[in-house]
Structure 1
């Protein structure tokens, strides 16, 4: 006697399809979630790398601001008046600018704006452009004026020799600078931060707050900060 062969019923087929569909949808959600997490982490890493590059460059230039050789500005002959203010700033509308006159320690940034020739004892002279060859016992200190300008969502840099502003970084949401102030000229400690100090001789450090935005919206705005101490007294 033949045995009856039974297949799947319609209800069983529908249940199997529903379970399979749920498994596929669950697996798809895991894949999509993983891809979104990776994408957001990649975007955050890009912002961190950009901030590290810009803030590292700013920190180095701030620390070298006012380093004009072995002798102070008062002993440098033919020193331009701009050397008296190695750290400057301005704000106009939504634009913020930080100007630094700093030692060109890398000697890879092209022609310096000024060169101080000094014997590091009693004589020092500033030259614009190309200075004469150093004499025996004389040292040359290359100086460069850099202006960092934040405007229209970009941080740019310019020099007197190249006044056209070159874009350092895009997608900048904010660029704020303030100055760590000492209580009196003889003090080295910082007692407060001021965005527009009246007495530049009390400046001891510069604080920079940089907010970067992800143009794709994968991560929220990221704010980074750095405080760079001035190694050379202002004013």
Structure 2
């Protein structure tokens, strides 16, 4: 008669197996979390880069229209610093807003404003400004201002002015809105600070300072990814031959 002896796991072997399972699970969880953070960061970087590039391109194309006028419409200053009324609607002029961000107002003759409202060869006034963490545009053709892009933490503007009588004209220096006076504006410098949630590790008490033209913008080190964009736009309708 044959007797078979069944062998099982001892308590120590079961505990070792359980410990190994826990270690493997923790390692897999940490690897997944790390990959997830890397993916979120990469996605935020891609989105911020794309939004910043498209925004600066859009603004540059639009601002180049400043000062474009037809023969049958009285010429207006390209960049406007005082309140202006066009088509029965009054817009504030370009100005400095401190921590609230600058604003930029200009006029041109065209068929469409920054919000897609259309009219056939009419005088249009437009104003870009920062409000509640987003960049807005308002125009003489619009019923109300509309947010163009959220997560814009800063919007700074400088103006390239002509102070001499050189021919052809040259930009003497870049100044803020309250320094322009009656001097003609030949170019505009723009800077924006965009942000995006990226799940970055926060650091209590630490800050990062971003240089935007003549301003320094300080933000706490938190979970958001931030990047500054800058562009200089020459006003092509300035009388460069004068």
Q: Hey, what does 2:49 align to over in structure 1?
A: 48
Q: Which residue of 1 aligns with 2:164?
A: 184
**Quick one: distance in 2 between partners of 1:145 and 1:153?**
23
Structure-2 residue corresponding to 1:111: 119
Match of 2:195 in 1: 213
Which residue number in structure 1 is paired with residue 76 of structure 2?
84
**C-alpha distance in 1 between matches for 2:162 and 2:102:** 24
C-alpha separation in 1, matches of 2:170 and 2:22: 67
Asked if the contact 1:206/1:228 (under 8 Å) is kept, the reply is yes
Question: TM-score scaled to structure 1, two decimals?
Answer: 0.69
RMSD: 3.2
Answer whether contact 2:79 2:107 (CA < 8 A) is retained: yes
Structure 2 counterpart of 1:133: none
Give a deviation string over 1:142-193, Cα, whole Å, max 9, x none: 5422111212222111112325211112222111111234563426555543
Q: Quick one: distance in 2 between partners of 1:63 and 1:47? A: 24
Tell me by how many angstroms 1:45 deviates.
Answer: 2.9
Residues 15-24 or 197-206, more deviating: 197-206
The answer for unaligned runs of 5 or more in structure 1 is 70-75, 116-141
Residue 148 of structure 2: aligned partner: 168
| TM-score normalized by the length of structure 2 | 0.67
Q: Is the 8 A contact 2:111 2:118 kept in 1?
A: no
Aligned twin of 1:29: 30
1:106 deviates by 6.1
Whole-Å Cα distance in 2 between the matches of residues 183 and 105 of structure 1? Answer: 33
Q: Distance in 2 between matches of 1:63 and 1:78?
A: 18
Instruction: Point out where structure 2 has 5 or more consecutive residues left out of the alignment.
Output: 81-93, 200-222
Secondary structure of the 1:84 match is coil
C-alpha contact 2:160 2:171 (8 A) present in aligned 1:
yes
